[in-house]
Structure 1
C-alpha cells in the first residue's frame, strides 16, 4: 500500500507541476467520460485544493473535456451503433443498464439525460442512446452542460470552502449525494414539464 500511495502522490505532483496541467486534466476528463472506470474526482479534488486561484478554470476544463467526449459518444450512437456502440455496451456488461435507460429516456428525454449525468449510472449509455434516437444535439449538449456543470462547479465551490476535506467526504458520501442530487434534478425538471404542459 505504501508503494501505491507513493506512486499516486508522485503522479499527482507530476500533473500538478506540469505546465500542461489543464490539457492533462481535460484529457483525463475526456477519457473518464468515454471509457476510464476511475472517477475524475480522485484527481480533480486534490488539484482544486492545490490550485484554489484557478479552481473555476479547473472546473471549466473538466466540464469541457466531458462535453467533447459526450458529443463523440453521441456520434457513435448516431452513426456507429450497430458496430461500435453495441460492441462497447456488451464489452462493459451494460446490457441491463442500457435497456433500463432506453425506457427511461423514451419517457423523459431531457430530464433522463440530466439525471444520468448526476446519478452513478454509466453516462456512456446516455450518450449512445441520445445519438441513436436522433435526439436534438443542442438539447443533449445543454443537458450535459447542466448535469456535469452542477457536478464539477459544485465540487469547486465545496473545495473553495472546505479544502482537502472534500475528498474524504466525497469518498464517503459520493453514491448517496449522486442519488439524492439526481432525484432532485429529475423532480425539478419533471415539475417544470408539467407546469409547461398546463400553461400550453
Structure 2
C-alpha cells in the first residue's frame, strides 16, 4: 500500500481521537528525527477537519519538532563519535555532511533557520549542530522560529482558505518555500552588513 494512502487512513482515525494533539506531537517528533516524511500530509487534512483546534495543532507540531531537534542535537553532541558514521550513511552521505558541517560553522543560525522552513529532512542539520558544538540556545531559537513559520503558516492557510487550503498549498508550495527562503537569506545578508 502506498505511503500516502496509509497517511490518509491514519489522519482519518486521528481526526476524532481524543489523543489527537498528543498524536501530532509524537508524529512531529518522529518526522524530525527518524521518519523523513513531510508532516504536511497529515497536518493539512487534520487542520481542515478540526478547525476549532487549528492553532493547537500547529503548536503541538512545533513542540514535537523542537523536542525532536533537541534529541538530534544531543545525538550529534554526545554520540557522534560512536554513531556518526552510521547516522550519516543512513540519512545522508559523508560529503554532504562535511558541507553541512562547514555551513553550520560559518552560517549557524541562518543555516538552521533556512533548513527548518524547507520541507526537507532536518536530521542532518540537527546532527551537524550537535557535532560542531554549535550554540544550543541559537539552534533552538532558529528551530522554533523556522518550524513556527512552517506549521503556523499552514494553520493560517487553512484558516483563510478553508477546504481549498490543501489544493492551494499543493499548487503554491514550492513558490512559497522559495519566497520564504529568499526572505530569510535577505535578512541574513542585511544583518551581516551591520
Fold shared by both chains (TM-score > 0.5): yes
Following superposition, which runs of at least 4 residues in structure 1 exceed 4 angstroms of deviation? 2-9
Shift of the alpha carbon at 1:6?
7.0
Matching of residues 159-178 of structure 1 within 5 Å: 159-178=158-177
Alignment check: 8 A CA contact 1:112 1:186 kept: no
How many aligned residue pairs are there?
194
Alignment check: 8 A CA contact 2:105 2:134 kept: no
Alignment check: 8 A CA contact 2:104 2:134 kept: no
Shift of the alpha carbon at 1:4?
8.1
Residues 8 and 36 of structure 1, relative CA distance in 2, 3 Å threshold: closer
Unaligned runs of 5+ in 1: 196-200
Matching of residues 109-128 of structure 1 within 5 Å: 109-128=108-127
TM score, norm. by length of structure 1: 0.88
Look up the match of 1:82.
81
Larger radius of gyration: 1
Residues 3 and 145 of structure 1, relative CA distance in 2, 3 Å threshold: closer
Look up the match of 2:48.
49
- Determine the C-alpha separation between the residues in 1 that align with 2:3 and 2:59: 30
1:43-76 Cα deviation digits (max 9, x unpaired) = 1011111111111111000000000000000000
TM score, norm. by length of structure 2: 0.90
Secondary structure at the residue paired with 2:142? helix
Unaligned runs of 5+ in 2: none
Two-structure CA RMSD over aligned residues (Å): 2.2
